[in-house]
Structure 1
């Protein structure tokens, strides 16, 4: 199915298809399976070609793994001031396996530039007046290739279509979930502002635009049974959250493109050169292995039994007249290996790659045929620290927006005790890139000399709001701080 053919048929405008070709290309580098690069043909003469596979260091995935671990790991603390609201939100996130999936989608965000989180209500019980009596709040995750913005303002996506691919009885279906703003008009014609509505459609994926199913046909497919054709949220805030890397999108001619770009979008040439070097390095051992050329009479003893293992690739039989001039029975060949030259070239490009992707230099090194990650603590002035803090700006707001969307849905589901505007604090874990023990000791000294208060110290190091920290301070003996 061609999604853009479907959009054209429905009169829907979104980004140019060429941008999604870039997403496909980034994804192929992430998987180390780039067409016409990792699989290629070598001409052998006489119109004869052989198909070859180029070995890869897999550095695109390594970059994505490392930035995801720096941004969202098990040490990140989410603190919500209202305890009832905090318990509810953490329950929803736990049910959505956010500890695992959150990190995984940070990696996918780094690979293709953008991901989305879409909370929704399910198992709803509806009252006669149409209000929701009870429901469960769930969370969907969406990758870049299935995110299609339809409206945006100042790089923020305000309306969007998300595509969810499903398979039932070996047939492929696509659910199009369109989040858009509509004006609300009162009974007396009063303008009540905007609200978000969600419109669903289901298409049987086939050639061209696909075949759109009617809502009556949805119930015949279990994964779409009970799906509402239209949902009015009654809220002026979106029921989706877009999360992207904090990198300017410079790969699209449209400077207003609100989608993110891959962490290695501007380093593809370096990735290609690294894989060329690594493939050459690997071939060096294949082509340079020891060989022993043997005269035919040496292959069998007087009884005709084989002297050497026929499966041993070291020994190679040559014609009998080959050794006439040298009078040798065997001839050993040892090819010299250019190991040091290859390792130097790979390390040079690893430094260039890590620098271009925001990790600074010396982050990776190639030793004994494997990638080693530097483990030293990196100062606050480093490229890596500043780069991670820059990406945290968008991630921090995305997590807060997601939490508030979950709270709104919880209130819609009848949990009126939830507080939407409660304080939310995201405490990112920087222990990998800064010396936390040294920083904590410096803060203790600031408390001792009176330039930092105990509530401020506790809020920073225990992931609490200052109000909660002040209430939880133990009683101190006069003059004793720690």
Structure 2
């Protein structure tokens, strides 16, 4: 009751201007955050959505109305880039492996019930676009649930070489005229992992989080404790992910940056060219100049009805009274469209954008109608593949942290007790990087020089087990016993000179 009374008094004082609220979460006395980083996150997020006022609002001038503002058309490349990189790094073929069968089954069950594969790929896309994301396990109804948090809703509090140790999760929502901001702190206090909850309410602008109010006054937060000290655990109960790119905006920050953070000017150039291509058709449309007398209404001599020679509502026709129009009352004005020049310029900009964001040149192309992404296999020497492997390093470390956090929380709440010192590994899908011709050439060289047994080469080339490869060789040898040297395959089975050079 006393807390509610104090809260009411604080609200009155706040409305009278005698008590100041917090304008931004980053102004909280216990949060050390660089506003510049979160301003950039807002920009990256806006670009991902397809519209940024500072980039897509363009001023232009007309004779009649003077300065005007219009919204530039966009190819929305930030979305394309983030989606492509997320799909290269993580998909349904990616496997999280644990060296203990029961724990492997338990983690697989937790991930399945949380629809992890689909949600993680979505949020990995947000991670590449906004510079980071967090996965936070928690317990609900006796089960482990996973909460996915975007970069703009997480602020680090303390960090070291091992990563972010403490942080605050920000959740905002509106109910009627009020805006609520819930801060969920994850802190280490005297060696004890502590979760602290605070809620603020504001009646003003969206940038003002307002004043602190009791948790029990907000129905959505009913039952949540203000402070909860966890039993002894060894790690923070969240996993932070970010692109594997050095932060050149704030070199002291543990936060990541968007994969297109250093390509903003190029993104603007691409959209400027695309918008210009559209205006090329708008401004260069066919025009027919006619004498003003030809768009006036005249009487039909037979019916007496008033008619026009041309439809006055047809935008193709323009009425002008030039000095020589009496001799040539109709003029067809044709403007040459610079379509190919625009497409060529857009593709040049896309090549630059691909390089700046970690993709190989030629990954993105524009044919004048739609955006296309290269579908051919990626060489292991390509920039795309190298970038993919670099991002996988941090994603794997984050997934390992997440698995250990799930197991710690499961043990604390008596849901599941995993053995000590389990090993977690992640097998990513590298099929996109297969270069079959290069593998074939390497297999022939290895076979010709007797560098490996045939069954090992077959197993690797066809991605089958070694036992199955041995069965293949046995079947091939049985079939080859009845064929001549001209039927020998590249593995050298069946006889002849090639066979004699390639032993088991």
Q: TM-score range with shorter-chain normalisation?
A: 0.7 to 0.9
Query: What residue number does 2:357 align with?
Result: 357
Q: How does 1:172-187 map to 2 (within 5 A)?
A: 172-183=179-190
Of the structure 1 ranges 284-293 and 73-82, higher mean CA displacement relative to structure 2 is found in: 73-82
Residue correspondences, number? 442
Q: CA deviation at 1:447?
A: 6.9
Tell me the SS of whatever aligns to 2:216.
helix
Could you tell which deviates more after superposition, 194-203 or 38-47? 38-47
Give the corresponding residue for 1:145.
152
Whether the 8 Å contact between 1:267 and 1:353 is mirrored in structure 2 is: yes
Query: Which of the residues 263, 284, 287 maps onto 2:259?
Result: 263
* Greater RCO (CA < 8 Å, at least 6 residues apart): 1
Aligned-pair distance for 1:479? Answer: 7.4
In structure 1, runs of 5+ residues without a counterpart are: 124-134, 184-193, 463-468
Give the TM-score, by structure 1 length.
Answer: 0.82
Distance across 1 between alignment mates of 2:336 and 2:170:
55
Is this contact kept in 2: 1:247–1:261, CA < 8 A? yes
Whole-Å separation in 2 of the counterparts to 1:204 and 1:79: 44
TM-fit CA distance, 1:49: 2.2
The question of 1:81 aligning with 2:78 is answered no
Deviates more, 1:386-395 or 1:21-30: 21-30
Change in CA separation of 1:274 and 1:420 when aligned onto 2, cut-off 3 Å:
farther
Is 1:386 aligned with 2:386?
yes
Determine the structure 2 residue equivalent to 1:67. 85
- Indicate if the aligned counterparts of 1:195 and 1:237 stay in contact, CA closer than 8 A: no
User: Which residue of structure 1 aligns with residue 490 of structure 2?
Assistant: none
Question: Equivalent residues in 2 for 1:454-473 (5 A)?
Answer: none
- What is the aligned counterpart of 1:38 among 56, 63, 72? 56
Matches within 5 A, 1:6-21: 8=27, 10-21=28-39
Q: CA deviation at 1:449?
A: 4.5
Q: Which residue of 2 aligns with 1:304?
A: 306
Residue pair 2:455, 2:469 contacting (<8 A) in 1 also: no
**1:197 aligned partner:** 194
The Cα shift of 1:324 comes to 4.1
Q: CA deviation at 1:271?
A: 0.8
Query: Could you tell me how far apart the structure 2 residues matched to 1:35 and 1:375 are?
Result: 33
What is the alpha-carbon distance in structure 2 between the residues aligned to residue 99 and residue 200 of structure 1? Answer: 29
Which residue in the other structure is 1:237 paired with?
Answer: 235
Q: Is the Cα contact below 8 Å between 1:115 and 1:141 reproduced in 2?
A: yes
Note if 1:374 corresponds to 2:371: no
Question: Could you tell me which residue of structure 1 aligns to residue 121 of structure 2?
Answer: 103
- Residue 246 of structure 1 aligns to a residue whose secondary structure is coil
Of stretches 15-24 and 84-93 in structure 1, the one that deviates more from structure 2 is 84-93
Tell me, which stretches of 5 or more residues in structure 2 are unaligned?
1-19, 477-504
Q: Is the 8 A contact 1:293 1:316 kept in 2?
A: yes
Q: TM-score, normalised by structure 2?
A: 0.79
Classify the secondary structure of the residue corresponding to 1:36: helix
Distance 1:70 1:226, change over 3 A: same
Aligned ranges 1:423-462 → 2 under 5 Å: 423-435=423-435, 448-449=453-454
Alignment CA distance shift 1:322-1:7 (3 Å): same
Specify the alignment match of 1:248 in structure 2: 246
Alignment of 1:114 onto 2:132: yes
Contact 1:161–1:178 (CA<8 Å) still a contact in 2? yes
Q: Output one character per residue of 1:376-415: Cα deviation in whole Å (capped at 9) or x when no partner.
A: 2221111111111001000011111111211222222323
Which structure would you say has the larger Rg?
2
Tell me how far apart the structure 1 counterparts of residues 74 and 25 of structure 2 sit (CA, whole Å).
37
Q: Which deviations, in whole Å up to 9, do the C-alpha atoms of 1:154-192 show, x marking residues without a partner?
A: 271111111122344563322111111122xxxxxxxxx
Task: For residue 432 of structure 1, give the secondary structure of its aligned residue in structure 2.
Answer: helix
Shift of residue 439, structure 1, vs aligned partner: 5.3
Give 1:448 shift: 3.5
Find the counterpart in structure 2 of residue 224 from structure 1: 221
